[in-house]
Structure 1
Amino acid sequence: MSWMAKLYETYEAGLLLTDLPDDKRLMPTSHTLQNAHINIAIDGEGNFKRASVLEKTQIVLPATERSASRSSGEAPHPLADKLQYVAQDYAAYGGLKKPYFDGYKKLLSSWCLSEFSHPKATAVLRYIEKGTVIKDLIDQKVVFIGDDGLLLTSWVNATDDSNPTPTLFKVLPKEKGLLDQGSALVCWTVEIDSNPNADTWKDRTLQDSWIAFDNSEDSEAGLCFVTGKVQSLSINHPAKIRHSGDKAKLISSNDTSGYTYRGRFLDNKEACGVGFDVSQKAHNALRWLVSRQGYRNGDQAFVSWAVSGKDIPEPLQDAFHLFSNFNFDDLDDSEPHRLNEDTVIDRSRDIGESFAHQLNKYMAGYRAKLDPNEQIVIIGLDAATPGRMGIIYYRELLGSEFLQRLEHWHKSFAWPQRHTIDVPSLSGKKPTKKVVWPVSSPAPKDIASAAYGQRLSDELKKSVVERLMPCIIDGNPFPIDLMDSCVRMATNRNGYKSDEQWLWEKNLGIACAVYRGYFQRHPIKTQRRDYTMALDENNHSRDYLYGRLLAVADRIEEVALSVGGESRSTTAARLMQRFADRPFSTWRNIELALQPYMQRLQNSRAGFLVNQKKELDAINANFKTEDFVSEKKLSGEFLLGFHCQRQKLREKTESTNETINEVSSAGSEE
């Protein structure tokens, strides 16, 4: 129950965040979140004034413990509810579902007759007792009946411009092609002259009135496992944690007829006892956190927070996006500044130094705000079935420990990554897209795509993110199968279409990042290595050197094709996969294929060709003969050499203001 205790504490701390707008604040207890479809306005005496259809409107409405978690059967909300509850004449107009007006009226009457009554609730009671809700809505052309006088379940000739589909028919869900207008949820506006806040779902006094009444109702007391105190226990725990339509629960209702506790406990109270107030506040806090700062991956959700309510870094974002909203203006002139689109990077030194300074500044900003002993919680949620939700990941950390581990992740897996940014146009036109290569760690969702392709299933993507959380938060080694998959995908350059070369470049950067990070955290300490992000001309590893050779060959042919006005893949690009499997024999083929292109460059780009030949000679000179002639398969290290050499050659082109129509950059990033 540690997670519930932390959420309960978070709720209490969140109540102190009074500077938040109303729609961003914590939801009060004894309330639930739901989509409203119809708004009915009445006066203080319960007289009908008007009605309208609401589109995509979520409201916080009063609810009982049972109604907040209802899935079927009768369980009325006390104020705002569906037409089948609030309309006495629903059955008379042929409603498809069973009417529950009597139960709704009984609950609302109990509230209005208690010492906690509210004038707006009393006005609603007076109105619904007249039994004309459906009739009034028909007169207002909000709901519709057919020639037989019964509520319509579909709209005929919906494509006819002279007979447009009513708004209510657009917002209500359909079942087997039919809809039930009785499932439209009604919220109330009570216009009283002395009260400027007419909308009941925004009235704090009405919310407090219902909470007081709900808490006064007799409920069974018992030991709360969270607080250790005897108090009113929760029977039905809230749902709607990830969104308003979420039916999955973290704590299911106690089952006295199934096999929930048989053979383990004497009765259902011994299985789990959570106080009503604790359950309401803990679930409301979790719902608030997920909607405010949660990471959503389909039905999977991760959220991290400080119990005190202070801001913390998002662990599932890459460094590039973390830095984008951070103010670096206070950096000293003597310190390296962050990389931007105008920065020319010198790859003759390790650009990781600049990134490390930038990351240190970023983390220092949070260390100044967070106490070292600040309580940080990370929780992951997923639903195996529509009604059952599980906690797939949970950690509690100190603030200093959390920042240290997050910083270690970003440093270990840092590598130049391909991103596009919007560059404002001086002429006032639409911004143009510019490709930049800032040093950054990749995001887990991008690692999943780089390992298994853009069309990977949601289940596989969720599995990857779940496996990476211990690497980010706990500092665990990176999974070797994920690293191998990323390397294979980046090596298979020929598997990308001509308009997907941007995607290959992106996956290449990710593969280099995870390969570097894997060896920084290798399970066997003696095999750990720290690769630099700059071109390392002192690295005489066979795989690294072969990667450099491939990059130079690719660049020579790329420039030659541009000079000849041709646009197609280079030999190095087409044979990259084969090169990784059989480097020596494939290199001979690539080298022979380069000869005609070198002849072409001899006349138009002689200086460029001389420099590239010198580079090839320098790389070849560093090989050991037995390594060079070996057909042993290359490891992912060859991608590091390839990428570093490739980036250095690109910068030389940019520094000399040469314009090359690069085949590899073809296509538009989505």
Structure 2
Amino acid sequence: MSWLLKLYETYEDNLGMVGKKEVKRNGQEYTLLPVSHTTQTAHIEVMITEDGNFHSAVLLDKSNGNTLIPSSENSASRAGSIIAPYPLHDKLSYVAGDFVAYGGKIKKEEPFSYYIAQLKEWAESKYATNTVKSIYQYLNKRCLIKDLVEERILWLDQNGQLISKLDKATEEYLGEKPPIFSTVTGGQESAFIRFSVYSPSVVITKPWDDIELYNSFISFYQDLLGKEELCYVTGKMLPSTEKHANKIRNAGDKAKLISANDSSGFTYKGRFLKPTEAVNISYEVSQKAHNALKWLINKQAKIIDQRVFLVWGSEVPDLLEDTWALITGENTQEEEESKVGSYTFEHSAREVSKAISGYKSDLSLNENVQIMVLDSATTGRMAVLYYRSINKSTYLDNLKEWHLTCTWQHRYRKNNNGEVISFFGASSLKDIAFAAYGSKVNEKVVKGMMERMLPCIIDGRIIPEDVIRSAFYRASNPVLMEPWEWEKTLSICCSLFNKKEEGYSVALDKTNTNRDYLFGRLLAIADVLERRALEGDNRATNARRFMSSFAQHPERTWLTIQKALQPYQARLGEKVWFYNKLIDEVGSMINPEDFNNKPLSGKYLLGFYSQRHDILQKKDKQLVTEEILEAEGEI
């Protein structure tokens, strides 16, 4: 229950955000929902006058349809043929008193009778607002469909009945395709109606933005809740509930985290007589915890193939992002661009330390960071796959250690001008997954790998060997990828091996006599030499075409590569002596006994990258190959 308690406390700590609209990057609005409220996508807005008469109606597009509505326990979890009306806004079959008169089909009883009785009870209570009274007064006249037909929102067939399905004969009769059929999925009877009150003299707040109306229903519904029982989350005596919220990840999500409606299965049978004996959660805690979770997911979660990765706490950095995101935070574009030119590993280390220190500045001893992973196996059930509550100081220290040890130079980020940003640090978990399995891999593989990598950051565990091995094989096969993708895969693979081996840096270590490292240096020199000789020809060099074979049989493959280099060496003329000297220098450092066909480890990629980087840093800029610059520029 600890995660439920933390979510409940998060809601209590953010009461000032309840009902306030926020906007995601994609432009979609979200809010911290009030208790006893949910969201629905409305298709039609009906405006009522203050004295309870019809004023007008409009069709809503998807961008304007998201509506915050009052909700009871039963309506929030209704399904199938169960009649459970929402308290104010609902589908046409519930809110239209003339639904049956216009040919509307109902399965058993008339839903409107339940709806209007419920609305009457609220409208006549001491908590009712003028808005609720006006809407009730109008709907009690049972003329909604009549008014919407006259407003040309709903349409009738030749027999004066509500059209449930638009066929060719009906369309010919109407002479056009009514807009309602492009707005609503299914027939007109499935249209969701929201109500507002119009006044020519006074500005009246829309019900879905009206805090007074929120509180009106919360107070009204509180009186209807059952007897108080012990809440297992807070330890207090509060009204309990057996029905818990869905729509956790999005408006169409039917999966629930807490459910005990399978009395014929193995949910609690054999151990308890009723579900509340297994666990008893108060209505208030359930509402606030689930609403806080929905808010946090909209605000800051990463969702991969419906699996939710969520980290929350008091001003904490996201463990799923890369070093650049950690360092820059909310920096402006100009500040980001100013850093690019002189960005080094030492600079990165200072910036990471500075960022972590900033997060620690207001640290209190009892602050914790919550880490949660959610996913659903079926459409109706969701599970907490991973949950940790970790001290904020420990979390920041472990995050800092990750970004300073799983580090390499990366060139795959862009600024707002589309220019490539070079940064030193760790990659995001999603980028590591793409490096290991390819950018076109199934998202199920990506989310599984990201979950496995979480303990590597949070607890400092060793990176799974199969992840490193997969990245190694892909980085050793550049011909299977576009140049930009291979460059990205190579740098990420180097960061993983650097985390595993420790102590390596992008700067070339000319004293390193490790066999694999030296073989990697040789391959890099051959690659740069041939690319320089090709002068703008973008075909793959022999060094890259034979890279996979070189990793498995370095001695045999190097002889093949060196023979293939001869025409390119001749084409370079005097400039070739720089490369020949490097080849001789590196080759002489390899122990003759080590010059064999034993497969290379990932250290050869470190040597390859560092040797190539060293050539890029030479004062003689003519030695910088066009191919490398083009590959970086395409990312």
Task: Using structure 1 for the length normalisation, give the TM-score.
Answer: 0.87
Contact 1:569-1:663 at 8 Å conserved across structures? no
Say whether 1:180 aligns with 2:187. yes
Structure 2 unmatched runs, 5+: 23-28
546, 555, 558: which one pairs with 1:587?
558
**1:525 corresponding residue in structure 2:** none
> Residues 420, 266 of structure 1: CA spacing in aligned structure 2 closer, same or farther, 3 A cutoff?
closer
**Inter-CA distance 599–657: structure 2 relative to 1 (3 Å threshold):** closer
Q: Specify the SS of the correspondent of 2:241.
A: coil
Shift of 1:138: 1.9
User: What's the counterpart of residue 443 of structure 2?
Assistant: 458
Return the offset for 1:242.
0.8
Which range moved further: 551-560 or 318-327? 318-327
Q: Find the counterpart in structure 1 of residue 369 from structure 2.
A: 376
How big is each residue's C-alpha offset from its partner over 1:95-150, in whole Å with a ceiling of 9 and x where there is no partner? Answer: 35545111111111111122222221111111112222122222222223333433
Q: Residue type of the partner of 2:203?
A: P
Q: 1:652 to 1:169 in 2, by over 3 A?
A: farther
- The 2-side partners of 1:663 and 1:438 are apart by 17
| 1:413–1:517 contact (8 Å) kept in structure 2 | yes
Change (3 A) 1:171 1:489: farther
Task: Provide the secondary structure at the position in 1 that maps to 2:361.
Answer: helix
Q: 1:447 to 1:501 in 2, by over 3 A?
A: same
Question: For the aligned residues, what is the CA RMSD?
Answer: 2.7
Contact 1:340 1:438 in 2 (8 A): no
Q: Does 1:52 align with 2:58?
A: yes
Q: Which of 79, 82, 90 pairs up with 2:99?
A: 90
Alpha-carbon distance change, 668 to 85 in structure 1, aligned in 2, over 3 angstroms: farther
CA shift, 1:666, in A, is: 5.3
Aligned to 1:625: 592
Q: Match of 1:438, SS? A: strand
Look up the SS of the partner of 1:517 in the other structure. helix
- Are residues 1:42 and 2:9 paired? no
The AA in structure 1 aligned to 2:557 is T
The unaligned stretches of length 5 or more in structure 1 are: 174-178, 330-336, 346-350, 424-430, 520-528
Counterpart Cα distance in 2 of 1:369 and 1:45: 54
Match in the other structure for 1:169: 181
1:358–1:193 CA distance, 2 compared to 1 (3 A): same
Q: What is the rounded CA distance, in whole Å, between the counterparts of 1:156 and 1:315 in structure 2?
A: 56
Q: Given that residues 38 and 54 in structure 1 are in contact (C-alpha distance below 8 angstroms), is that contact kept between their aligned partners in structure 2?
A: yes
Give the corresponding residue for 1:506.
488
Partner of 2:25: none
Matches within 5 A, 1:44-193: 44-56=50-62, 57-72=65-80, 73-95=82-104, 98=107, 99-149=110-160, 150-154=162-166, 166-173=178-185, 179-192=186-199
Alignment of 1:408-423 (within 5 A): 408-422=401-415
The one-letter code sitting in structure 2 at the alignment partner of 1:230 is M
The 1:5/1:510 distance shift into structure 2, 3 A limit, reads: same
* Amino acid across the alignment from 1:224: C
In structure 2, distance between residues paired with 1:659 and 1:548: 16
The answer to whether the 8 Å contact 2:78/2:84 transfers is yes
Q: Match of 2:519, as an amino acid?
A: Y
Give the C-alpha shift of residue 93 in structure 1: 3.0
**Structure 1 pair 121/542, CA: closer, same or farther in 2 (3 Å)?**
same
Q: Distance in 2 between matches of 1:205 and 1:584?
A: 79
- Counterparts of 1:392 and 1:131 in 2: how far apart (Å)? 49
Letter paired with 1:464: M
1:74–1:328: structure 2 CA closer, same or farther, 3 Å change rule? Answer: closer
Give the 5 Å matches for 1:604-615: 606-607=574-575, 609-615=576-582
How many Å separate the matches in 2 of 1:154 and 1:648? 70
Give how far 1:485 is off.
0.4
Amino acid at match of 2:448: S
Q: Give yes or no for the alignment of 1:266 onto 2:237.
A: no
Q: How does 1:1-12 map to 2 (within 5 A)?
A: 1-12=1-12
State the SS of the aligned residue for 2:114: helix
Paired residues, what number?
621
Paired amino acid for 2:321: Q
Task: Give how far 1:311 is off.
Answer: 2.1
Aligned to 1:559: 532
Name the SS for the 2:127 alignment partner. coil
Q: For residues 581-626 of structure 1, what are the alpha-carbon distances to aligned partners after superposition, in whole Å with 9 as ceiling and x for unaligned?
A: 1000100110111111011000xxx24x222222212211211111
Contact kept? 1:43, 1:49, Cα under 8 Å = yes
Q: Residues 230-259 of structure 1, C-alpha deviation per residue, up to 9 Å, x if partnerless? A: 221012001111111111000014444433
Q: CA deviation at 1:25?
A: 4.5
Amino acid at match of 2:608: F
Structure 1 runs (4+) greater than 6 angstroms displaced: 157-160
SS of residue paired to 1:510: helix
CA spacing shift, 1:18–1:146, aligned 2, 3 Å? closer
Letter of the structure 2 residue corresponding to residue 301 of structure 1: V
CA distance in 2, matches of 1:34, 1:657: 63
Which residue identity is paired with 2:242?
I
Equivalent pair of 2:616/2:623 in contact (CA under 8 Å): no
Q: What SS does the aligned partner of 2:539 have?
A: coil
Which amino acid counterpart does residue 321 of structure 1 have in structure 2? A
Distance across 1 between alignment mates of 2:114 and 2:498: 64
Secondary structure of 1:652's aligned partner: coil
Per-residue CA distance 1:370-414 (angstroms, 9 max, x = gap): 334312111111011000000011010111111111111111211
Deviates more, 1:472-481 or 1:365-374: 365-374
Residue identity matched to 1:41? M
For residue 318 of structure 1, the aligned residue among 322, 329, 353 is 322
Does residue 611 of structure 2 align to residue 645 of structure 1?
yes
Paired letter, 1:481: D
C-alpha deviation, 1:157, in angstroms = 11
Residues 144-195 of structure 1: CA deviation (Å, up to 9, x unaligned): 33334332423759999x977544333323xxxxx12222211111124675
Alignment of 1:444-455 (within 5 A): 444-455=429-440
Is the Cα–Cα contact under 8 Å of residues 433 and 446 in structure 2 kept in the other structure? yes
Q: CA deviation at 1:535?
A: 1.5
**8 A Cα contact 2:487 2:632, kept in partner:** no
d(CA) in 2 for partners of 1:110 and 1:545? 83
Q: Report which stretch shifted further, 3-12 or 21-30.
A: 21-30
Contact in 1 for aligned 2:20/2:32 (Cα 8 Å): no
Once residues 175 and 584 of structure 2 are traced to their aligned partners in structure 1, the CA distance between those partners, rounded to angstroms, is 78
TM-superposition CA deviations, 1:65-101 (whole Å, max 9, x none) = 1111223221110001111111122233333554511
**1:486 paired residue number:** 471
By how many angstroms is 1:222 displaced? 1.8
